[in-house]
Chain A
């Protein structure tokens, strides 16, 4: 981003001349600042440091003061900055300073004609700094030459008189300037020189009558950095673009080569807040053009800020705009200046300057200037000098305006106060760091430096060069800060100097910071050569230091360090006894940093086997001797026998993992062994492991000490380790097989010929060997003596039959044995052996093994039985059977059929549905036999039949047809129903309701046989024998009532029986004649009333029975409503004195129920009548309305026959609302809808003499038949008469 830096401006250098005073100034301003002026969260300040600095430009300010005294100048009013700094005053003086703050020109506009002496309101330098335009509050403009300070032009009559100049701006062209006056108009000033006479052309660009312009900003490429390149200038130079803000709008206007409005947008806001504008060239990334540098306008008002980018369409020289982003501010905007392409300085109405990072939309820092008297342009906007001849709106905006007292240059914001010039700028990155250091916040400085290095810091200013150079600068600075920190904080703290001790710093956090920074900067020389030596003599600090290295070791950021420090580290950890942590650190550190002797001694003494192995293998490339050493230790432990101590256990495990790693060519504990030494290592380790005797062995050492020890330590895991190793290429092929054979031979020798191994362990050995044999490519490379093999099989089987607690172990053995059996040729077992093996496998429950042997023998019966025996495989039986049925010869199928029948009960229990499907698909004939075979097992038979019958309804694998065939005579259903009656009688009723008609007679018999009354009644009902069914149900009810008196538990039966009668009656109500209906209901009622009557006289009768009966009676009466006339029912109830208890009171509820019902139904009637009437009425009115409208026909021809409508004599025409018309004769019959589009028709009979379009229509009668109305009325009368009867 080199081009952010302006050409030859060096305001910074000139600041240094006033550095002392500015510093003090700054401090005052900091201490004066209100708490509210701080950014919202204090941590932000710590993150970024203090970014802004505020200075007084002493040279200029003091000369302004002097001028007031000596030259009778007054307060400053306006500022313009280019290569020069121009300041105008209230009494019409202009002071021009150069970059070194020396007064260059003193221009007294009083000297000029036209009564100058009014306040200077606007000024502008042209692009090559040779001319200065000065405008005043009365609207006069002068042009000065900056080479000699002489007046060049006096511009008269360039704009309407009596209007103050608000803005003066030069464009990129030295001959073109813009002015804006308090009338709100914008004029273009074209300077010319004809025949040595200087003149000016003026043109009104924007008239104030169309909205007053209050801000104006031309796009100036010359203000920007010059390094942008030739292309850029050629692209933008011919274009003159200006942004203007009126009180309500923002406009971007192109004025050269042609005048054109490019962009306009409403810009509303508080009437007091002035609109703000600012251009800057910014690097923009776009998808089409890649990275390019384009002008961006920032504009804003009140609390909104927008960014809009312009680009040139190169071919057609057209300008385009692209809105970029907008954001909300949390303050009121008053002024806006770009600092650099990423930073904006915003002045708010509280007179605070906010510096905003555009990308993150984050305010990085705030400076409060509220104590200073910032110059504002209000007098000019209010037109005080010209008698206030301005609009109210402009005057209001002007109260806050300070357009001519802010300017930005070289990344700094210049602000004009009455008697001084201030600058607010971004601090250079190093300044920010230095400031933090000087404020005694070195930790923050260090953190900020790290953030800068990691590219996370904001508002980085002043860092130049390529990325690498920048990094180097940052790094050097960071190291400087760190050095100073060590010097001023760490060392005094270590020395226990009171000033530091009391500063609240913690030694460990200070050291931690130092280590962290050094590690991050990879500056270990600083850490270990400079810092550490200085603190190592202080025990506390040294311990702290060493301890804080640990996390860096563990995350591998500190892999190589000076051995002497590592030595001290190790010694310290050893001393403290933190051996575990030490061990894990060691394995992360490069061996070249380790004192090998120290580590080896330590690990040997302390049993740090990890570290021991690590050092040996990495540093000495010795893989065998550490194994031998460790083995010796383990031998000692194993000799004592289990249980092993934690230490020994760990040792053993480490050895096992180590062996497994070495044999697999992996380094311990992580990584891979070098390619070239891998094979050697594998070989050495294997040789060492299988050696007959250890080095320096005692006389009585048993052969193969290492393998033996490991086997004794943990047989299973050693075998697993070997098993994993045998997958390596060294154990494959002929040589490999030999190696395997040797290891296996040794293992066998050790284990079989020794009594100290449990059968369990030997079993593991067998599993291991079996697996190896089956795994080897040709299965014959490993030999095992037959007798030995038999011995092992015996052992495995006998052990497994006894002990099956650990299922995975059991399964492992079975798998191994099975795999072994599956290898052809290896085990050509004799018949005897095989029988024996079978027997053993059977007793060990190795069903898969048995199955395999039987399968080989093609003894399918036995295979099937294996499946039956092995509970875990029950799910697969059918699959097996299907295979046999589809693949096998007839004799086998017959065999299977027999077996299926034999095990039919089990099969049905497992899954009746799949069995049914299977049989239906494969062997339908077997179904009957299966059913027969199931006779002894009614439950299974029932389920099987159900599954078979279900097939008929659900199509599974196309078995439906078969199922239908099987049961063509219905014997299955019969049997099923019979079983259902026996096992699940409550299901029978619902079953018979859905059963097919032809089966009903037989089902009826079954129901009769098992006396299931409800089902019987249901069948009768379906057969149409209503009376018989009713009698049956009634009989059941009677029975249940009788039962009630005998035993009180009969409630449920009674309720169920009564409910079924009521249901039956309701169901059949519609199909019965009225007489029958009456009979049915009334007998039911009688049936219920009778027992109550008889109970009445019996004082012993339980109250519960009576109330129960009444309840049911009530239910019956409720159900009767609507079925038969109430007049028939009520008398019965009232006449029966027993029911009523002789008083009306008992009947009250009943009658209340009836009345409620009556009210309900009358309401229903009333409402439906009202609805009907409403419908009729609305239909009528709609029709009436339609009939009063004429219909304009589409054509004068019949839409059907296409002849003229009025052709022929006396034509009858039918017209529809769709504007189609037909001859009535063409519409055959009474068609009520248009045959073309079928809407509502209007049929008209034209009068004979009327040839116009007919407008009468026939109304169809609303869709309510007289019969319906009749029935409604009848119902109503019936109800009221019933009610009358009731009360008579």
Chain B
């Protein structure tokens, strides 16, 4: 009974059921990555994160003021990837704060709203800024959110796909509402992130994720069941 918490804790990912880890003792390494969400306001950054972290969706989400910090763990083969997610505010006036989050990040998701062409344009600006100013080996993913509103689509899938291919970005159309592709995009990022522990160690300032000490992790009863 005593080890129950531990076992339950190793199972991961949100209710959508991405990589479920079998019960039993943990093995493999743990990588920790900083991930930042960028994009115009009201494209659904917070909704994406909440869907990923909590499996929830709220139709009316208040706009984020000041970046929020959330974590979620996913399992990938024998590696446990812990995402430290910075969900930034989308409003124009907070844009000047974004460098604080993306300059140290290993991954970024640039979100746009498929029903709004302007947000796609803005997403391109973000991608450009990331390519110029963020760490050179940052993994960038482009997410066309609100895919459930395909009837009101303003950005064609092929257009965005082509743009993503040109710029070497991961690309998916997601829907925080229906959970479509939400876990998948995070998993795809996790797959693409370098998991060798060569660089930096703990506190490495750029590029690489931190690899946690195994002993340290052992002390820590993991969070809870299925999360």
Is A720 in the interface zone, CB < 8 Å from B? yes
Is A1278 in the interface zone, CB < 8 Å from B? no
Smallest beta-carbon distance A581→chain B, Å? 16
A664–B104 touching, CB < 8 Å: yes
What residues of B have a CB within 8 angstroms of the CB of A809 in the complex? 64, 68
Is A25 in the interface zone, CB < 8 Å from B? no
Stretch among A290-298, A307-315, A645-653 lining the B interface: A645-653
Give residues of chain B (107-124) contacting chain A, Cβ–Cβ below 8 Å. Answer: none
Smallest beta-carbon distance A971→chain B, Å? 35
Q: Given A717-B97, A883-B8, check contact A666 B66 (CB 8 Å).
A: no
What residues of A have a CB within 8 angstroms of the CB of B87 in the complex? 808
Give residues of chain B (1-59) contacting chain A, Cβ–Cβ below 8 Å. Answer: 1, 4-5, 7-8, 11, 15, 23, 46, 49-50, 53-56, 58
Q: Mark A635-678, 1 if CB is under 8 A from B, else 0.
A: 00000000000100110011011001100111001101000000
Of the candidates A661, A806, A819, A858, the one whose C-beta lies within 8 Å of that of B103 is A661
Number of interface residues of B (CB under 8 A): 54
Give residues of chain A (854-908) contacting chain B, Cβ–Cβ below 8 Å. Answer: 855, 858, 872-873, 875-876, 879-880, 883, 887-889, 892
Q: Given A808-B70, A812-B68, check contact A654 B205 (CB 8 Å).
A: no
Is A439 in the interface zone, CB < 8 Å from B? no
B224–A851 touching, CB < 8 Å: yes
B203–A720 touching, CB < 8 Å: no
B15–A875 touching, CB < 8 Å: yes
Q: Given A806-B64, A855-B5, A858-B1, check contact A654 B96 (CB 8 Å).
A: yes
B100–A720 touching, CB < 8 Å: yes
Measured in the bound complex, the distance between the Cα atoms of B9 and A852 in whole Å is: 11
Of the candidates A657, A661, A805, A851, the one whose C-beta lies within 8 Å of that of B96 is A657
Q: Mark B122-163, 1 if CB is under 8 A from A, else 0.
A: 000000000011000000000000000000000000000000
Q: Mark A687-719, 1 if CB is under 8 A from B, else 0.
A: 000000000000000000000000000111100
A815–B71 touching, CB < 8 Å: yes
Q: Given A720-B100, A721-B100, check contact A727 B219 (CB 8 Å).
A: no
Smallest beta-carbon distance A296→chain B, Å? 39
Smallest beta-carbon distance B226→chain A, Å? 4
Is A771 in the interface zone, CB < 8 Å from B? yes
Give residues of chain A (791-811) contacting chain B, Cβ–Cβ below 8 Å. Answer: 805-809, 811
B202–A729 touching, CB < 8 Å: yes
A888–B69 touching, CB < 8 Å: no
Smallest beta-carbon distance B13→chain A, Å? 11
Smallest beta-carbon distance B205→chain A, Å? 5
Is A824 in the interface zone, CB < 8 Å from B? yes
Is A1011 in the interface zone, CB < 8 Å from B? no
A887–B56 touching, CB < 8 Å: no
- Most-contacted residue by chain A among B4, B55, B100, B227 (CB, 10 A): B100
Measured in the bound complex, the distance between the Cα atoms of B174 and A275 in whole Å is: 65
Smallest beta-carbon distance A827→chain B, Å? 13
Give residues of chain B (182-227) contacting chain A, Cβ–Cβ below 8 Å. Answer: 202-203, 205-206, 210, 213, 216, 219-221, 223-227
Smallest beta-carbon distance A411→chain B, Å? 42
Is A818 in the interface zone, CB < 8 Å from B? yes
B58–A720 touching, CB < 8 Å: no
What residues of A have a CB within 8 angstroms of the CB of B99 in the complex? 657, 661, 669
B224–A808 touching, CB < 8 Å: no
Measured in the bound complex, the distance between the Cα atoms of B154 and A950 in whole Å is: 44
What residues of B have a CB within 8 angstroms of the CB of A818 in the complex? 223-224
Of the candidates A717, A777, A824, A855, the one whose C-beta lies within 8 Å of that of B66 is A717
Measured in the bound complex, the distance between the Cα atoms of B112 and A447 in whole Å is: 41
Is A11 in the interface zone, CB < 8 Å from B? no
A660–B100 touching, CB < 8 Å: yes
Is A480 in the interface zone, CB < 8 Å from B? no
What residues of A have a CB within 8 angstroms of the CB of B96 in the complex? 649-650, 653-654, 657
A852–B224 touching, CB < 8 Å: yes
Is A732 in the interface zone, CB < 8 Å from B? yes
Measured in the bound complex, the distance between the Cα atoms of B7 and A808 in whole Å is: 27
What residues of A have a CB within 8 angstroms of the CB of B219 in the complex? 824
Measured in the bound complex, the distance between the Cα atoms of B96 and A654 in whole Å is: 7
Of the candidates B46, B66, B213, the one whose C-beta lies within 8 Å of that of A714 is B66
B202–A732 touching, CB < 8 Å: yes
Measured in the bound complex, the distance between the Cα atoms of B225 and A809 in whole Å is: 22
Of the candidates B49, B97, B133, B221, the one whose C-beta lies within 8 Å of that of A822 is B221
A879–B53 touching, CB < 8 Å: no
B100–A811 touching, CB < 8 Å: no
Is B165 in the interface zone, CB < 8 Å from A? no
Is A848 in the interface zone, CB < 8 Å from B? yes
B100–A808 touching, CB < 8 Å: no
Measured in the bound complex, the distance between the Cα atoms of B133 and A666 in whole Å is: 11
Of the candidates B7, B58, B202, B210, the one whose C-beta lies within 8 Å of that of A887 is B7
A653–B97 touching, CB < 8 Å: yes
Measured in the bound complex, the distance between the Cα atoms of B219 and A855 in whole Å is: 17
What residues of B have a CB within 8 angstroms of the CB of A666 in the complex? 103-104, 205-206
B50–A808 touching, CB < 8 Å: yes
Is B76 in the interface zone, CB < 8 Å from A? no
B69–A805 touching, CB < 8 Å: no
Is A723 in the interface zone, CB < 8 Å from B? yes
A665–B62 touching, CB < 8 Å: no
> Nearest chain-B residue to A659 (Cβ)?
B100
Q: Given A720-B86, A807-B61, check contact A657 B100 (CB 8 Å).
A: yes
> Nearest chain-A residue to B23 (Cβ)?
A883
Smallest beta-carbon distance A437→chain B, Å? 39
Of the candidates A724, A806, A852, A887, the one whose C-beta lies within 8 Å of that of B100 is A724
Is A728 in the interface zone, CB < 8 Å from B? yes
Q: Mark A1018-1046, 1 if CB is under 8 A from B, else 0.
A: 00000000000000000000000000000
B100–A656 touching, CB < 8 Å: yes
B221–A805 touching, CB < 8 Å: no
What residues of A have a CB within 8 angstroms of the CB of B101 in the complex? 720, 724
What residues of A have a CB within 8 angstroms of the CB of B71 in the complex? 815
> Nearest chain-A residue to B203 (Cβ)?
A729
Q: Given A716-B65, A807-B46, A812-B68, check contact A879 B11 (CB 8 Å).
A: yes
Measured in the bound complex, the distance between the Cα atoms of B227 and A266 in whole Å is: 76
What residues of B have a CB within 8 angstroms of the CB of A777 in the complex? 213, 216
Of the candidates A858, A872, A889, the one whose C-beta lies within 8 Å of that of B56 is A872
A822–B223 touching, CB < 8 Å: yes
A806–B226 touching, CB < 8 Å: no
Measured in the bound complex, the distance between the Cα atoms of B206 and A728 in whole Å is: 10
What residues of A have a CB within 8 angstroms of the CB of B65 in the complex? 716, 806
> Nearest chain-A residue to B16 (Cβ)?
A875
A876–B64 touching, CB < 8 Å: no
Q: Mark B54-96, 1 if CB is under 8 A from A, else 0.
A: 1110100110111111110000000000000011000001101
A807–B97 touching, CB < 8 Å: no
Of the candidates B5, B62, B69, the one whose C-beta lies within 8 Å of that of A771 is B69
B100–A872 touching, CB < 8 Å: no
Please name the 6 residue pairs, one residue from A and one from B, whose CB atoms are nearest each other, closest first. Answer: A716-B66, A653-B96, A729-B203, A876-B226, A808-B68, A875-B15
Q: Could you list some 30 contacts between A and B, CB below 8 A?
A: A653-B97, A656-B100, A657-B96, A657-B100, A661-B99, A665-B205, A716-B66, A724-B100, A729-B203, A729-B205, A764-B66, A806-B62, A806-B68, A807-B54, A807-B56, A807-B61, A808-B49, A811-B50, A822-B221, A848-B227, A872-B54, A875-B226, A876-B15, A879-B11, A879-B226, A880-B8, A883-B7, A883-B225, A888-B1, A892-B1
A residues adjacent to B (C-beta < 8 A): 646, 649-650, 653-654, 656-657, 660-661, 664-666, 669-670, 672, 714-717, 720-721, 723-724, 727-729, 732, 764, 767, 771, 777, 805-809, 811-812, 815, 818-819, 822-824, 848, 851-852, 855, 858, 872-873, 875-876, 879-880, 883, 887-889, 892
B residues adjacent to A (C-beta < 8 A): 1, 4-5, 7-8, 11, 15, 23, 46, 49-50, 53-56, 58, 61-62, 64-71, 86-87, 93-94, 96-97, 99-101, 103-104, 132-133, 202-203, 205-206, 210, 213, 216, 219-221, 223-227
Known: A806-B61, A808-B50. 7 other contacts (CB 8 A): A657-B99, A664-B104, A666-B104, A717-B66, A717-B100, A729-B203, A851-B224
